[in-house]
Amino acid sequence: MKDYDIAIIGAGHNGLIAACYLAKAGFSVGVFERNKEVGGAAVTREGPSGFTYFEGPHVLTGFSPSVMRELDLSQYGLDIIPLPGRTTLNAEGQFLTTNRDERQSFSAIKYFSLQDAEMYRVFLRDLTRQKRIAALSQPRIGSDQRFGKRYLREDVGKWLGQVEQFGKDALSESVRLWTSSCADYLQSYFQEDIVQAHIASPVFMGVDKGPFCPATAFLLLRCGFDQSLHGAQGFVRGGMNRLSHALESAAKDAGVDIHLRSEVIEVQVEKNKVRGLTLIDSTSVKAKVVVSSLDLKRSVMMLFDWKDTERGVLEQARNYKLEGTLAKLNIALDGLPKFPNLPQDSTVLGGLMNFVSNLFEIEAAYDAWRDQIVPSRPFLEITIPSVMDPSLAPTGKHLMSVYVQYIPTKLLSGPWDTAARERLATIVIDQIAAHSPDFTKRIEDWSLSVPRDFEDKFSLTNGDVFHGQLSLSQILSGSALLGSNGTLPGIDGFHLCSPVTTEDRGMTGLPGARIARRIARGFEDE
Amino acid sequence: MSDQSQEDDFFEQRDDIGSPAVVRKWQYDAIVVGGGHNGLVCANYLAKMGLEVVVVEARGVLGGMAVNTTQDHGSLESSDFAHLISGIPGFIVRDLKLNKFGLRFSGHGTRTVSIDEEGRKLTLSPTLEESRESIERLSRSDADKYSDFTDHWTKVAAALKRFVSMAPPPLELGSHTSLESLHGWLEQAARVSPDILKRAQSGLMAPVADIVEDLFETDLLRGTLAFDAVLGMNVGPRQAGTMLSYLQRLIQRDLAMQSNVGYPVGGMTAAINALAKSAQARNVEIMTDARVTDIRISDGRVHGVDLEGGMNLDAKIIVSSLDPKQTILSLAGVRHFDLEFIQKLRAIRSNGAIAKIDLQLSELPNITGLNPDEFRGRIVISPDIDYIERASAAIKYGEYALAPIAEIVFPSLFSEEAGETHHMSAIIQYVPYDIAGGWVTKRDQFEHHILNALKFYAPDLLNKVLDARIMTPADIEDEFGIWGGNWHHTEFSLDQFGPMRSMPELAQNKTPIEGLYLCGAGTHPGGGLTGLAGHNAARVISDAVKRRS
Ligand SMILES: Cc1cc2nc3c(=O)[nH]c(=O)nc-3n(C[C@H](O)[C@H](O)[C@H](O)COP(=O)(O)OP(=O)(O)OC[C@H]3O[C@@H](n4cnc5c(N)ncnc54)[C@H](O)[C@@H]3O)c2cc1C
Ligand SMILES: Cc1cc2nc3c(=O)[nH]c(=O)nc-3n(C[C@H](O)[C@H](O)[C@H](O)COP(=O)(O)OP(=O)(O)OC[C@H]3O[C@@H](n4cnc5c(N)ncnc54)[C@H](O)[C@@H]3O)c2cc1C
């Protein structure tokens, strides 16, 4: 095997993006992927006769426009269809649709409450402000030895000065956002149940907490409620594989070698410096720098032999929490189902839909998850991507993709066997059918993945789609373990590029891009 | 300012405490509303500054929630549970010379005996060796780790204790006073070693479950430690903020033990008596059976209070030891505040989640697995993390936990005058303030359920019950005049902690009304029996008075 400047573990989108940037910066780069195809969790596969099934995410949330541009991804066939809107349908059959057009969202909310509609503007403005404050580089406590009076005066003082520019109440509002429950936070703006549930809906997909749990309001920062908050949000035309293939081609054109079926079992370290990789077939690969797109826990616990080095690191990684909450259902339909309470237009049916009435329903599903049972009403996010992109299903037919949230990785009652899976699918199908009389009879086929399947297929520990849960303590302790360049203490030349290195956890491509830029800069500095 | 040496010599103690006092005058420098322990501590400090102070207490007895005596229920009196956790810090005891007013301490704390449904038990005692021995019976490795655990977090608590005895800094930016006081805090922070701060930082935000599950393997140990974290809170151990609550408890313990004083002999009643006597020795007027109905405000400042029965008292400083909602919504009146402020105030979460049950028993019951000697500690039912978390979920939906967590004590075992009968007192947690269907209709069902739940652990209990009394959070609200009946007055949680307690505008013990201050558990550092809130408020008032003169 040839030597590389940089070896990348995992050919998920982040690994590939990092590879592209580094190869373009002139390094020799090899990517080592366990699976037989690239893409990681962001993949689609052939379903039955002409249907395309989404194995992982069905939309891109916040994919970075600069990555798109700098890697010329549209050249490579990546086409993002903007998300037309998001709709919440409650038990009474009322619905609320919002989209990027603030004026349209305003009038949709106004239908329920003028005050809520007005507060929506305030909410967006406040959240934008908080997003900017969160983006300021924050004083870090204890991450290195710089600490003491001077540090506090200068670093903290400087930070406070910056925060102050956002207004007198900027600091207290920040503290409120980072410590409140999502429910309390939303209730301080909105009165209508459907409005609260609508805004909370995108927040909790994949999260191991419910809206009434303390310190969940900050999760709102992740979500793009308007353009200013986020990058591209939408469907990848032709399915997620198009993204992976675009990145694969871009990488190959930049000179990257992609090695499939090449599981990495160890990062070789000598005198605290990375030397290369060992593959499962014992092949040794030399590299000056190793970038891992595995989650923090996996990276620390599976890739290194910590005997000689710090035990504390291992312990911290062991305690790092990854929780599976999300199951995925693909449903092949022989035609577009009717939803009598929803307008039959593409803004609604071609967008994302949640069938939920209030925050309590979401919380109740969370409570069941925590007790390791399947909720009687799981929390759903439904989309029919074939409305916007007919290529995903045979002519006249449709594909429905459903996130099923609050599904435990382990069931109290026993294994995730066929019976358990069928029961879950039935619950979900019935839940949808309650709003659509012809739904059930249109089903040609369905396919369900539960969190543990994601661990098997994509190496997502416990099936955690975020590579690590987003809790306040975890954000702090994770960043305490990781250096600012995704490094681990005591190891030179190793970088993490998994979503835990950014707080968005979305499909942004930023973890890969940022780490690559920093590594390139690091080499220049030497 | 009263002369220090003169005060030292003033030991004449009066014994009219607890009876309706004769009012000697109408005008004071300061009126303290509520004679709970925080009100008394605050009154003492204000008097020490040289102010003329009156304490007005609605009930017939002082001590508020700390001394839960009800006059109308003769058979079950004196259910004080102060032998549990009484954390009046050493420095307050010294400042107020409480030992000169009859407060004595004995050197040891209380044992906790925790039991589970399978009859396992675990004893956590003030002495590490005894705890270790007990843990060892369940797991050797947990026993080894337990001392590391206590050591680690006690260190953190000791380092952080400086932050509870002063009002938190304001978060409002732009005024130089706030930056100044933020700097003051940061300087304090700079004295804490980086290592401790680092541990504290992630620890403070963590759910207690994460901390104890990462370390220990025994469910009963995890559950018992988590119990102390969630007691008095509204959420379960898997939620953020619960480790903070555990640390808060360690801080209180550390402060109380800092002069090795131990625990007050005679429990909290004795501590309250000493506080009242020391106050009176400083010429503080104490009125019981004196309910404040109105705090008089005009031109943005306070002028006095009206009492039930038509009496009025005047003062330029009014310190309320009631929770912020009761103080402002019921006593001060919303018209004096701006709309946004009131809206935020209403949003403070203040519903309580505990019920208290007092049983008069013909004799001591049998508790499966416990010997009578162990009845002198506190008995805890909190067998594992999932059990507690499940119990906590109920209140979100306006229901009580079917399998609650509980703390049981037998106050009659500590009473000097041993009677024929026995008294068992239990705190039952995760009981909603707003129960679906209303307490009027659900009360009997609840009582029945709880007695049966206790019967599981004490099979012969029901045969021995002579009398039972249950206080739901709604009853606690009625009894103590605290909005929502919360143990901490307002929910103790990350978003209502420190500079956010109970809302940023009130966190420095001040209100938007000039001369109106808060000194109860709804201010920093929250509930419990420490007097710190009262102390902090007095400091703020002292600064304000100094600035004016
Ligand atoms: C059902 C589902 C729904 C989701 N929904 C959303 C959503 O709505 N929004 C959102 O933002 N995100 C969502 N996600 C998460 C999103 O898919 C991930 O955040 C994203 O795919 C992470 O990309 P990555 O490149 O960092 O890592 P991954 O995609 O996890 O890639 C890691 C790669 O490393 C490979 N690998 C693992 N171990 C080894 C080894 N030892 N040696 C070599 N290779 C190895 C894996 O096979 C994989 O290809 C969802 C995920 C799932 C499963
Ligand atoms: C059942 C129960 C058990 C507890 N057990 C423990 C324990 O074991 N350990 C522990 O540390 N903490 C415990 N606590 C919590 C602790 O008792 C409180 O946090 C603490 O007593 C609060 O003290 P305070 O002085 O701030 O307020 P309070 O004690 O509530 O005092 C407020 C006072 O104001 C009076 N008042 C109310 N309205 C008026 C009015 N209009 N006019 C005049 N006066 C008025 C009340 O009668 C009361 O005396 C318990 C609480 C409860 C309810």
Mean pLDDT (chain B) is 87
* Token pair listed for A478: 């994770």
State the DSSP H helix or E strand holding residue A38, giving kind and residue range, or none if neither: none
Sorted by sequence, the CB contacts under 8 Å of residue A345 that are 6+ apart come out as none
CB contact under 8 A, A363 and B493: no
pLDDT at B20 over 50: no
**Does A64 map to a domain?**
no
The gap from C-alpha A83 to its chain's centroid, in whole angstroms, comes to 16
Q: How far is the CA of A268 from the centre of ligand 1 (A)?
A: 24
* pLDDT tens, residue by residue, B311-347: 999 999 999 999 999 999 999 999 999 999 999 999 9
* pLDDT tens, residue by residue, A160-170: 888 989 998 99
- Cα-based torsion angle of the residue sequence B335, B337, B340, B343 in order, rounded to the nearest 10 degrees: -60
**pLDDT of the residue at B61:** 92
**Quick one: pLDDT band at residue B284, thresholds 50, 70, 90?**
very high
* Token pair listed for A188: 């301080």
For residues A416 and A452, the answer to whether their CB atoms sit within 8 Å is yes
**pLDDT of the residue at B12:** 39
> A54 in helix, strand or coil?
strand
If one looks up domain B26-104+265-335+501-548 in CATH, what number appears? Answer: 3.50.50.60
**Does A272 map to a domain?**
yes
For residues B3 and B285, the answer to whether their CB atoms sit within 8 Å is no
pLDDT at B76 over 50: no
Q: Which atom of ligand 2 is nearest to the CA of B479?
A: 47
* pLDDT tens, residue by residue, A302-321: 999 877 557 778 888 888 99
Between the two ends of chain A, the Cα-to-Cα distance in Å is 27
pLDDT at B470 over 50: yes
pLDDT at A224 over 80: no
The verdict on A421 and A355 lying in the same domain is yes
The verdict on A330 and A417 lying in the same domain is yes
**pLDDT of the residue at B198:** 73
pLDDT at A230 over 80: no
Last residue of a domain, one of A182, A199, A232: A232
Q: Is the four-CA dihedral B189, B190, B193, B194 of positive or negative sign? A: positive
Last residue of a domain, one of A199, A214, A232: A232
pTM: 0.93
For chain B, percent of residues with pLDDT exceeding 70:
88
Q: How far is the CA of B308 from the centre of ligand 2 (A)?
A: 20
**pLDDT of the residue at B21:** 46
> Which amino acid type is present at position B254?
D
> The tokens 């109740």 sit on which residue?
A364
Round the CA-based radius of gyration of chain B to a whole number and report it: 23
The verdict on A419 and A334 lying in the same domain is yes
- Residue numbers in B near A184 (CB within 8 A): 347, 349, 495
> How far is residue B87's CA from residue B80's CA, in Å, rounded to a whole number?
14
For chain B, percent of residues with pLDDT exceeding 90:
67
For residues A301 and A44, the answer to whether their CB atoms sit within 8 Å is no
* Token pair listed for A16: 């590939």
> Which amino acid type is present at position B476?
I
CB of B504 less than 8 A from some CB of A: yes
pLDDT at A483 over 80: no
Q: Are strands A95-98 and A86-89 parallel, antiparallel or unpaired?
A: antiparallel
**pLDDT of the residue at B70:** 42
Cα within 13 Å of Cα(A67), Cβ side: 31
**Quick one: pLDDT band at residue B2, thresholds 50, 70, 90?**
very low
**Quick one: pLDDT band at residue B6, thresholds 50, 70, 90?**
very low
**pLDDT of the residue at B83:** 38
> Which amino acid type is present at position B124?
L
The verdict on A432 and A473 lying in the same domain is no
> How far is residue A95's CA from residue A354's CA, in Å, rounded to a whole number?
10
In angstroms, the Cα distances linking A335 to A332, A349, B99, B306 are 9, 13, 84, 74
> How far is residue A302's CA from residue B122's CA, in Å, rounded to a whole number?
37
The verdict on A309 and A215 lying in the same domain is no
The verdict on A316 and A331 lying in the same domain is no
pLDDT at B281 over 80: yes
From B425, B379, B317, B394, select the one nearest B28 (Cα to Cα): B317
CB contact under 8 A, B179 and A187: no
For position A426, which CATH number holds?
A: 3.90.660
Which protein residues are within 6 Å of ligand 2, measured from CB? B 33-39, 56-59, 64-66, 81, 84-85, 291-292, 321-322, 354, 356, 427, 476, 480-482, 487-488, 520-521, 527-529, 533
The verdict on A328 and A426 lying in the same domain is yes
**Count of domains observed in chain A:** 3
**Does A349 map to a domain?**
yes
For testing contact with chain B, the best of A175, A189, A207, A322 (most B CBs within 10 A): A175
Q: Which of B190, B194, B499 sits opposite A142 (nearest CB)?
A: B194
Upstream peptide bond of B525 is cis (omega within 30 degrees of 0): yes
Q: What is the DSSP string of B375-402?
A: GGSEEEE---HHHHHHHHHHHHTT---S
> The tokens 């002028």 sit on which residue?
B303
What's the gap in Å between the CA of A402 and the closest CA on chain B? 27
Q: Which of A171, A364, A477 sits opposite B173 (nearest CB)?
A: A171
* Token pair listed for B208: 């207690």
Upstream peptide bond of B502 is cis (omega within 30 degrees of 0): yes
**Which carries the bigger pLDDT value, residue B76 or residue A156?**
A156
Round the CA-based radius of gyration of chain A to a whole number and report it: 23
Burial annotation A392-413 (CB, 10 A radius, 16+ → b, else e): bbbeebbbbbbbbbbbbbebee
> How far is residue A104's CA from residue A86's CA, in Å, rounded to a whole number?
12
Q: Whose CA is nearest to atom 33 of ligand 1?
A: A10
State the DSSP H helix or E strand holding residue B295, giving kind and residue range, or none if neither: strand B292-298
- Domain of residue A403 covers 322-458
**Which carries the bigger pLDDT value, residue A149 or residue A156?**
A156
SS3 string, A307-331, reads CCCCHHHHHHHHCCCCCCCEEEEEE
For residues B81-93, give the mean pLDDT. Answer: 67
What's the gap in Å between the CA of A395 and the closest CA on chain B? 47
Dmax over CA atoms of chain B, in Å, equals 67
**Quick one: pLDDT band at residue B258, thresholds 50, 70, 90?**
low
**pLDDT of the residue at A161:** 85
For residues B490-517, give the mean pLDDT. Answer: 96
Between the two ends of chain B, the Cα-to-Cα distance in Å is 13
Q: Which of A141, A149, A367 sits opposite B393 (nearest CB)?
A: A367
**Does A174 map to a domain?**
yes
Q: Chain B residue closest to A156 (CA)?
A: B186
pLDDT at B294 over 90: yes
Is the backbone of residue A42 left (phi > 0), alpha (psi -120 to 50) or beta? beta
Q: Are strands A379-383 and A398-405 parallel, antiparallel or unpaired?
A: antiparallel
**pLDDT of the residue at A145:** 46
The verdict on A332 and A315 lying in the same domain is no
> Which amino acid type is present at position A334?
D
**Quick one: pLDDT band at residue A140, thresholds 50, 70, 90?**
low
**pLDDT of the residue at B417:** 59
Select the highest-mean-pLDDT range: A28-32, A519-523, B419-423: A28-32
Select the highest-mean-pLDDT range: A169-173, A358-362, B159-163: A358-362
> How far is residue B225's CA from residue B440's CA, in Å, rounded to a whole number?
35
Q: Chain A residue closest to B387 (CA)?
A: A371
**pLDDT of the residue at A474:** 85
CB contact under 8 A, B494 and A473: no
Q: Whose CA is nearest to atom 19 of ligand 2?
A: B527
CB contact under 8 A, A214 and B194: no
The verdict on A205 and A278 lying in the same domain is no
Provide the edge-to-edge strand list for the sheet that holds A352-355: A95-98, A86-89, A352-355, A379-383, A398-405, A326-333, A443-449
Phi (first) and psi of residue A492, to 5 degrees? -90, 130
Phi (first) and psi of residue B505, to 5 degrees? -70, -15
Domain spans in chain B, listed from the N-terminal domain onward: 26-104+265-335+501-548, 120-255, 354-480
The verdict on A191 and A253 lying in the same domain is no
**Which carries the bigger pLDDT value, residue A501 or residue A113?**
A113
Sorted by sequence, the CB contacts under 8 Å of residue B390 that are 6+ apart come out as A371, B236, B401, B403
> How far is residue A162's CA from residue A158's CA, in Å, rounded to a whole number?
6
CB contact under 8 A, A168 and B241: no
**Does A101 map to a domain?**
yes
> The tokens 């605050």 sit on which residue?
B42
In angstroms, the Cα distances linking A113 to A106, A194, B339, B345, B516 are 10, 10, 20, 23, 37
- Residue numbers in A near B203 (CB within 8 A): 473
Q: Which atom of ligand 1 is nearest to the CA of A40?
A: 49
For residues A485-507, give the mean pLDDT. Answer: 82
In angstroms, the Cα distances linking A506 to A140, A186, A222, A502, B428 are 23, 22, 8, 9, 42
State the DSSP H helix or E strand holding residue B140, giving kind and residue range, or none if neither: helix B140-160
From B525, B522, B45, B70, select the one nearest B320 (Cα to Cα): B522
- Residue numbers in A near B205 (CB within 8 A): 215, 471-473, 476
Cα within 13 Å of Cα(A231), Cβ side: 19
Sorted by sequence, the CB contacts under 8 Å of residue A346 that are 6+ apart come out as A84, A387, A388
State the DSSP H helix or E strand holding residue B70, giving kind and residue range, or none if neither: none
> How far is residue B381's CA from residue A147's CA, in Å, rounded to a whole number?
43
For chain A, percent of residues with pLDDT exceeding 90:
73
From B256, B154, B255, B149, select the one nearest B196 (Cα to Cα): B154
**Which carries the bigger pLDDT value, residue B21 or residue B238?**
B238
**pLDDT of the residue at B4:** 43
Q: Is the four-CA dihedral B150, B154, B155, B156 of positive or negative sign? A: positive
**pLDDT of the residue at A151:** 66
CB of B398 less than 8 A from some CB of A: no
Q: Which of A163, A370, A471 sits opposite B389 (nearest CB)?
A: A370
For position A303, which CATH number holds?
A: 3.50.50.60
A32-36, A39-43, B173-177: segment of lowest average pLDDT: B173-177
Q: Is the four-CA dihedral A180, A182, A186, A187 of positive or negative sign? A: negative
- Residue numbers in B near A319 (CB within 8 A): 210, 214
* pLDDT tens, residue by residue, A350-406: 999 999 999 999 999 999 999 999 999 999 999 999 999 999 999 999 999 999 999
What's the gap in Å between the CA of A304 and the closest CA on chain B? 21
The gap from C-alpha B500 to its chain's centroid, in whole angstroms, comes to 18
In short, whether A57's Cβ falls inside 6 Å of ligand 1 is yes
